Chain A
């Protein structure tokens, strides 16, 4: 039980740090908005084409945003020399990862939910009737991005060119998440509003596989 209570305390710390400044959330929302607007120049937005492309582009924007948003996750600890203190404060280093990935999932989900109405208006895709299943897809997708992203940001924080290294490590690894989330979102936003159990299940499998990998190997990333 100490793992979860440790993680809960650390999650509180992550949330407090962020909500004091809201730096990460504001910049990420602006970034996603910018990418979505820029995408609108690359194809014909009035046609049925845009309905087919839009969900994929939305997830691409989320992915790019995440690869930037996840940067400070471990870098901040490293710059403030708080990583060893963090390690000493918990009995299981997995608690650190658990707290950070919960915080990242939450931040990502929050920005995505803020973007959903904007996206829905801009690309003229009504999302109202499918909000609940969409949130599930957003949650599972964000969890997948955060699990892999938190582990990799612990790696990239220790490398040179870290701002470029995180996207390079993360984006190919997240191809399955991009495909599954975009397909599930596209099916939900389609006039038929189909809930694709297969893709949602696939996202859940991805999350479980990478959570397990992180539980097994995550602690090695925090060694001094």
Chain B
């Protein structure tokens, strides 16, 4: 209990420090101004979300091959947490885009593929809700999770290839490309903070899933007895 509380407090401090750094340490960007500071939350959440989806994919493979319940719990926790971070990514994107590009949304390659990725994991979670029997739910959703993750590079490839053949309304430089040194440091600090938060949320969500399972076990025993 104490360990969890300390670990949680550390992560909260880290996130506060990252927020402080992005507001007060990082220099103001020349052309975009203050709004550019949302980048540290936006891109760092994106990276943390992708890591979570990768964790989900690995957990799905381990579940299919080994059938240990804990991999199912990790899988669903990682998918939910990844979805939360991707949602932050998709919400902070338009907030940043509107003052800078003049539009909330554009069907640019990166935006579109992130949107599809987000929908794939919504489908994964919806599917879990529609499968009753726990073992079946774990297995079938794991296989779908594997298919979805395999699809991601194809989605990114197709959309990028297709969109870049058309004139683009906006061109977004990759994060880290030509970033000013202080900005770079603040950015990677934010990435670290968001990953710590992601791991914290994931482990808490995992505990919840585990406790839920134990509760159902006790309930079954009580009914049987």
> Is residue A24 within 8 Å, beta carbon to beta carbon, of the partner chain?
no
> Is residue A64 within 8 Å, beta carbon to beta carbon, of the partner chain?
no
User: What CA separation (Å) do A172 and B132 show in the bound complex?
Assistant: 24
A158 in contact with B127 given A152-B144, A175-B155, A176-B151 (CB within 8 Å): no
CB distance from B36 to the nearest CB of A (A): 31
Which of these, B131, B150, B162, contacts A183 with CB under 8 Å?
Answer: B162
Interface centre among B136, B143, B150, B159 (most CB of A within 10 A): B143
Which of these, A148, A156, A179, contacts B159 with CB under 8 Å?
Answer: A179
User: What CA separation (Å) do A122 and B163 show in the bound complex?
Assistant: 28
A168 in contact with B131 given A158-B140, A176-B154, A220-B143 (CB within 8 Å): no
Q: Is the CB of B144 within 8 A of A155?
A: yes
Which residues of chain B (142-198) have a CB below 8 Å from chain A? 143-144, 146-148, 150-151, 154-155, 157-159, 161-162
Binds A, one of B2-10, B73-81, B87-95, B115-123: B115-123
Which of these, A159, A179, A180, A213, contacts B150 with CB under 8 Å?
Answer: A213
> Is residue A85 within 8 Å, beta carbon to beta carbon, of the partner chain?
no
User: What CA separation (Å) do A108 and B146 show in the bound complex?
Assistant: 25
- A180 / chain B contacts, CB cutoff of 8 Å: 158
User: What CA separation (Å) do A165 and B139 show in the bound complex?
Assistant: 16
A209 in contact with B150 given A158-B131, A168-B123 (CB within 8 Å): yes
User: What CA separation (Å) do A158 and B151 show in the bound complex?
Assistant: 22
In chain A, what residue has the closest Cβ to B121? A172
A159 in contact with B127 given A172-B116, A172-B120, A176-B151 (CB within 8 Å): yes
> Is residue A161 within 8 Å, beta carbon to beta carbon, of the partner chain?
yes
CB distance from B109 to the nearest CB of A (A): 11
> Is residue A96 within 8 Å, beta carbon to beta carbon, of the partner chain?
no
- A198 / chain B contacts, CB cutoff of 8 Å: 161
- B139 / chain A contacts, CB cutoff of 8 Å: 220, 223
CB distance from B79 to the nearest CB of A (A): 14
Q: Is the CB of A165 within 8 A of B126?
A: yes
In chain A, what residue has the closest Cβ to B112? A175
User: What CA separation (Å) do A220 and B148 show in the bound complex?
Assistant: 16
Q: Is the CB of A175 within 8 A of B130?
A: no
- B157 / chain A contacts, CB cutoff of 8 Å: 176, 202
- A213 / chain B contacts, CB cutoff of 8 Å: 146-147, 150
In chain B, what residue has the closest Cβ to A218? B143
User: What CA separation (Å) do A155 and B159 show in the bound complex?
Assistant: 27
> Is residue A94 within 8 Å, beta carbon to beta carbon, of the partner chain?
no
> Is residue A160 within 8 Å, beta carbon to beta carbon, of the partner chain?
yes
Q: Is the CB of B151 within 8 A of A155?
A: no
Q: Is the CB of B143 within 8 A of A221?
A: yes
Q: Is the CB of A158 within 8 A of B162?
A: no
Q: What is the 8 Å Cβ interface bit string for chain A, positions 199-224, against chain B (1 contact, 0 not)?
A: 00010011001100100010011010
- A176 / chain B contacts, CB cutoff of 8 Å: 151, 154-155, 157-159
In chain A, what residue has the closest Cβ to B143? A217
A160 in contact with B143 given A168-B123, A179-B159, A209-B150 (CB within 8 Å): no
- B126 / chain A contacts, CB cutoff of 8 Å: 165, 168
User: What CA separation (Å) do A197 and B136 show in the bound complex?
Assistant: 41
CB distance from A210 to the nearest CB of B (A): 8
- B97 / chain A contacts, CB cutoff of 8 Å: none
In chain B, what residue has the closest Cβ to A159? B130
Q: Is the CB of B64 within 8 A of A173?
A: no
CB distance from B155 to the nearest CB of A (A): 5
In chain B, what residue has the closest Cβ to A180? B158
List, sorted by A's number, 11 A–B pairs whose CB atoms are closer than 8 Å: A156-B127, A158-B136, A159-B130, A172-B123, A179-B159, A180-B158, A202-B161, A209-B150, A213-B147, A217-B64, A223-B139
Instruction: Other than A158-B136, A172-B119, A213-B146, give 15 A-B pairs with Cβ distance below 8 A.
Output: A148-B147, A151-B147, A155-B144, A156-B127, A158-B131, A165-B126, A168-B123, A168-B126, A168-B127, A169-B123, A173-B147, A179-B158, A217-B143, A220-B139, A220-B143
